[in-house]
Chains A and B, each alone.
Chain A
Amino acid sequence: MSVEPSVSHSPDTSDALARDAGPEVLISNLLRAGVVVSLTLVTFGMSLTFFHHRDYFSSAQALQRLTAPERGPHALAEVLADAMNARGQAFVMVGLLVLMATPVLRVALSLLAFSRQRDRAFVTVTSVVLTLLLLSFLLGRVE
């Protein structure tokens, strides 16, 4: 975005600057919050699992079962239902989902920022990126 050279420091330009700084800070805070929330959920879920199954600490066989190659949870409803039953695994999964959603939300937020700045080219590029991201989420599921 080009900043028009202004003769005096009118309240208009300082407003424009504040609006410019706004989205950047917002995006930074979003990324930070997403990462911290995800880290908290993952750590909480892992501790919950090890709290429920003390035998993971002592027996290597039980620990093998934990990472056995079975299909992981793959439906949002399933993950949420498990979280309601205080399954540690579900909390880990929710944390991972938050981490996956963070960059997508970041793209959506920058689309909002670009459209507020009326930056036509970047709005086009960002909406294409966002559409492709959402498409990959929708088309990815099998069955």
Chain B
Amino acid sequence: MDLAMGLPLKVSTATSNFMIGVTAAASAGVYFARGDIDPFIAGPVCAGVVLGALTGSRFLTKVKSSWLRGLFVVVLLGVAFQMLRKGVSP
């Protein structure tokens, strides 16, 4: 959205997060119905994600877009490196 549609970074961040939320809700119900959700793995993750999201959305309006983009690139590089390492040596 940021590159192809030329939306402001913060707008595309909020929009994509919202869409992920709605689509994830559809699959979360299926996982629950099949008993695939372990409360003691999902619970701590939920607490962490909610606290992170609350602080993140509070800071989003104050943080500079360029700084945010840089941070996002660093995080993506970190995740990509981790996945690559796991893929090469399981």
User: A: which residues have CB within 8 A of B?
Assistant: 35, 38-39, 42-43, 45-46, 49, 66-67, 69, 71-74, 89, 92-93, 95-97, 99-104, 106-107, 129, 132-133, 136-137, 139-142
User: Contact: A72 with B39, CB < 8 Å?
Assistant: yes
Residues of A within 8 A of B38 (CB): 67, 69, 72
In the bound complex, how far is the Cα of B40 from the Cα of A66, in angstroms? 7
Residue of B nearest to A97 (CB): B32
The interface bits of chain B over 29-50 (1 if a CB of A lies within 8 angstroms of the residue's CB, else 0) are 1111111111111111011001
Partner of B22, one of A38, A99, A129, A140: A129
Chain A residues whose CB sits within 8 angstroms of the CB of B40 once the complex forms: 46, 49, 66-67, 89, 92
In this complex, the member of B27, B29, B47 whose beta carbon has the largest number of chain A beta carbons within 10 angstroms is B29
Interface assignment of B26: CB less than 8 Å from any CB of chain A: yes
- Which residues in window 13-33 of B have CB below 8 A to A? 21-22, 24-33
Closest A residue, CB atoms, query B39: A92
- Residues of chain A within 8 A of B53, CB atoms compared: 35
For chain B, the count of residues having a C-beta within 8 Å of the partner chain is: 29
> Which of B26, B39, B50 interacts with A38 by CB under 8 Å?
B50
Number of residue pairs across A and B with beta carbons under 8 Å? Answer: 98
Interface residues of B in 50-73 (CB under 8 A from A): 50-51, 53-54
A142 touches B50 (CB 8 A): no
Instruction: Check A42–B43 contact: CB distance below 8 A.
Output: yes
Closest B residue to A100 by beta carbon equals: B28
A102 CA / B22 CA spacing, docked (Å): 9
In the complex, the answer to whether B21 meets A103 with C-beta atoms within 8 Å is yes
Closest B residue, CB atoms, query A76: B32
Are B39 and A96 interface neighbours, CB within 8 A?
A: yes
15 contacts between A and B (CB under 8 A): A39-B46, A42-B46, A46-B44, A72-B37, A74-B36, A93-B39, A95-B46, A96-B37, A96-B43, A100-B25, A101-B25, A133-B25, A133-B26, A137-B30, A140-B34
The answer for the CA separation of A142 and B35 in the assembled complex, in Å, is 10
Instruction: Considering the complex, give the chain A residue whose CB is closest to the CB of B24.
Output: A103
